[in-house]
Amino acid sequence: MDHTMVSVRYAPKEAPYIGKGRWTLPLSLIHNKKLVERIAIQGTELLTDITRDRFERTDQRTMNIQTHWESYKNDIHKIAKNIAKECYHKITSWIKAIERDLKNTNNDPEIRTNKEKQRHEAYLASQLKQLKKKEAKEKKDLMNAKLANHSEQLGGMWSALGKEKRPRNPIHRLKIPNTNPPQYERHSKRMAEIARNHHKSLQDEDLDPDTNTEEYNAELHKFLNEIPKNQRLEEPE
């Protein structure tokens, strides 16, 4: 019998912790005026900072276009995420409020005889239906965007639609650097941080921190001059 069934969740000790994944911008925010205005303001500030560094000849090892661009993307991510939370909270709270009100209305003993309450119940049902349609449309738009991005190319999204979803083989653990005896990390976010720091350290490997700006620029021009002329970009590019 159903009431005698027991459900068990098996959680091995060695299983890695898997986070929520990477956040993506909801398509419904593309036409959000508040978000567009904030992005425009951040873009103006980005252009100002880049122009200032070019005229002041700021040391590129401490501040350059890539670092400005990284800060710009991080700021846009935070702004978009906060606005998305506001919009999502409004819709979900509205849906919950209507569902709660609709439930109370349907449980009212006078609903079969009171015309006013019947009209109120029909109005709530209509509003709930519209909000559900809005949620479904956002999911449909997201799917259409993915299909349009892949176009009619083989593989990618089209293959994923008819492909059986199989569990992936995750990285169960990563060794924490400079630990003796070796210690291991199983939290996905901290594992990603270890990998990021490793690849970042490779860029600074064999670099002398005591090198002054003149020596650094001389070495930079030396390597840039090794690039064939037919592979170089024009100055405006």
Query: What is the per-residue pLDDT across 88-98, written as a single tens digit (0 to 9) for each?
Result: 777 777 788 88
Other CB atoms closer than 10 Å to residue 65's CB: what's the count? 13
Structure tokens at 125: 């049902």
Mean pLDDT by 10 residues, the chain (237 residues): 64 71 76 88 90 79 83 90 78 80 82 82 84 76 69 62 68 86 86 88 75 80 86 72
HSE-up of 44 (CA within 13 Å, CB side)?
A: 6
Structure tokens at 114: 């009171």
Query: What is the per-residue pLDDT across 228-237, written as a single tens digit (0 to 9) for each?
Result: 888 887 775 5
Other CB atoms closer than 10 Å to residue 146's CB: what's the count? 14
Residue 112's pLDDT is: 77
Residue 40's pLDDT is: 92
Quickly list DSSP for the chain: -GGG--------TTPPB---------GGGGG-HHHHHHHHHHHHHHHHHHHHHHHHT--TTTS-HHHHHHHHHHHHHHHHHHHHHHHHHHHHHHHHHHHHHHHHHHT-TTTTT-HHHHHHHHHHHHHHHHHHHHHHHHHHHHHHHHHHHHTT-SSHHHHHHSS----------EEPTT-SS--EE-BHHHHHHHHHHHHHHHHTTT--TT--HHHHHHHHHHHHTTS-GGGPPPTT-
Percentage of the chain lying above the pLDDT 70 cut? 82
Residue 105's pLDDT is: 82
Beta carbons within 8 Å of 54's beta carbon, 6+ residues apart? none
Residue ranges covered by each domain of the chain: 169-198
